[in-house]
A = this chain, B = another copy of it.
Amino acid sequence: MPYVNIKITREGATAEQKAALIEGVTRLLQETLNKNPATTFVVIDEVDTDNWGIGGESVTVRRQRDTG
């Protein structure tokens, strides 16, 4: 009965990509720790780039500088 929370920036992940993350993490836990997929939760949180910081800056600022 694992609970997996994946936080990523909100930058256009598609439903198919999120489905691939859910399927892949569930299979990984089954193969690695023999966890039952039926009671494996995967929750994906998408976070606005203003709300995610690394290196003391928001991702918004970093993206603007990178594409400046």
Contacts and interface: CB of A to CB of B under 8 A. Distances in A.
The number of times this chain is found in the oligomer is 6
A53 B45 contact: no
A63 to B, nearest CB: 12
Contacts of A61: 19
Interface residues of A, number: 50
A52 B42 contact: yes
Nearest to A18: B50
A20 B32 contact: yes
A4 B7 contact: yes
Interface in A1-52: 1-9, 13, 15, 17-29, 32-33, 35, 37-47, 50-52
Nearest to A4: B6
